[in-house]
Amino acid sequence: MHVDEHLEELERLADTAGAEVIGRAIQRIEAPTSNFYIGQGKVEELKDTLAAAGATLLLFDESLSPVQGSKLEKALGVRVMDRTEVILDIFATRARSSEAKLQVELAQLEYLLPRLTRMWTHLSRIRGGIGLRGPGETQLETDRRRIRTKISVLKKRLKDVAEHRANQRQGRRDLPTAALVGYTNAGKSSLLKALSGQDVFIEDRLFATVDTLAREVDVGEGYRYRLTDTVGFIRKLPHHLVASFRATLEEAEDADLLLHVIDASHPGWEEQVEVVENELRAAWGVRRGNASVERKREIYVFNKADLVPDPAAFLAMVREKYPHAILTSAAPHAARPTSIGVDALRLALRTSAQALRPIAEIRVPVSNGKLLAALHRDAEILHQEQTNGVVTLRARIEARVLGKLRQEGIEVVLG
């Protein structure tokens, strides 16, 4: 992205957070200064500009150290927030589920801890029950201990949530699963609504939704998918936030399929694709102890086709790199609906489901009650009959399970 696009994204973040942007400034520096990040002359210039405009808040697109943030506030006389703090603030206001609120609170506290002295006057904005107290050194140390204790408690609670989610996923293997991933505001929620036909919150803002949402989707010919809408990614996503949302990202890692949703109308979509894939690999690498992450089946879905000048030419161009890419428009009232759309995505999902869950005829001796019970638990039984001590099951079952059955000498016929 160009620097202007970076600032436009910061403006959209500010708008989502509820701030009114009245100006912007850029300084090119070889390296950040230890005191202010920017140069002393720029600080003086900003002080005059802020006073003339009557501004009460200054947003930085880069991350500031505790020292830089503190010295900037003293020099400028206004509240200073960096990109990380703005994103955390948005997540705090957008989180709805108890899990998302836990995740956001953990990220906020980890961000706050090294900045506690400077943040004292800001504590009333932090959601999570930290009171506004006088900043004596003894009280600061007390608060640091309390925050560290709270962080430990939150990590334990989120670990319990992650284990519960893992158990839930094990009990939901009857349907193939797909995770919608992508840059924030790429239209994941709109696609989920278009595919499922069920009401999903949609807003044309960055991080309109930060909660994981799952819906069952009929993809035709008797096949269904469980689709999960995951939290959106963004350039320079705070590492505290990525770490605390790891349980949510496991939904994507454990899914059978990734639907990578891309805003086809955005001029910087290629960088956005790179951001999403790098963040996913980093998150999964941490979870696996930096072990190599296997390549998951991924369908690239270029959304917002109604905003692309020449959809056919655009699709031909992207298919040079992504041969099976799909162009969609999930806008409720698309200005120019395209012939390639949600139905093409539904077909791709059905084809994938057929490969992941083929229909097979399985013959099991009636005496093998353990295997029969396992098949009833792990497969979708379409028909069953018993003849001469053999139970014949017609079932929709995972391809990997069929391979194991054949290895055990069980008779399996596809189709």
296-344 tens-digit pLDDT: 788 999 999 889 999 999 999 999 999 999 999 876 544 444 445 888 8
Number of domains in the chain: 4
Q: Which residues contact 127 (CB under 8 A, 6 or more apart)?
A: 92, 104, 105, 108
Q: What's the rounded Cα separation, in Å, for the pair 210 and 208?
A: 7
- Which of 88, 112, 139 lies at the terminal end of a domain, its last residue? 88
Least confident of 74-83, 116-125, 142-151, 170-179: 116-125
80 and 61 in a common domain: yes
Same domain, 54 and 72: yes
Q: Are residues 64 and 152 in the same domain?
A: no
Q: Indicate the helix (H) or strand (E) that contains 391.
A: strand 390-396
Q: Answer yes or no: do 193 and 154 share one domain.
A: no
Same-domain pairing of 328 and 395: no
**Residues 295, 289: contact at Cβ < 8 Å?**
no
Arithmetic mean of pLDDT, 97-114:
84
Q: Are residues 273 and 250 located together in one domain of the fold?
A: yes
Confidence at residue 363, expressed as pLDDT on a 0 to 100 scale: 92
Q: Give the residue from 88, 118, 141 where a domain finishes.
A: 88
Residues 152, 280 within the same domain: no
**pLDDT over 60 (residue 285):** yes
Shared domain check, 279 and 252: yes
pLDDT at 130 over 60: no
Which CATH number do you get for residue 382? 3.30.70.240
Domain boundary among 24, 55, 88: 88
**What's the confidence (pLDDT) of residue 236?**
83
**pLDDT at residue 59 in the model:** 93
Task: Assess whether 314 and 405 both reside in one domain.
Answer: no
Instruction: Mean pLDDT check: name the lowest of 35-44, 62-71, 203-212, 371-380.
Output: 203-212
Q: Are residues 152 and 31 in the same domain?
A: no
93: three-class secondary structure by DSSP: helix
Q: Does the pLDDT value for residue 291 go beyond 60?
A: no
Q: Is the same domain home to 343 and 297?
A: yes
Question: C-alpha 152: how far from its chain's center?
Answer: 24
Residues 276 and 376 in one domain: no
Output DSSP code: residue 275: H
CA angle (345, 251, 16) in 5-degree steps = 80
Please name the residue that has the structure tokens 């595919």: 195
Helix (H, G, I), strand (E, B) or coil at 61: coil
pTM (2 d.p.): 0.78
| β-pair partners for 269 | none
Domain region containing 404: 358-414
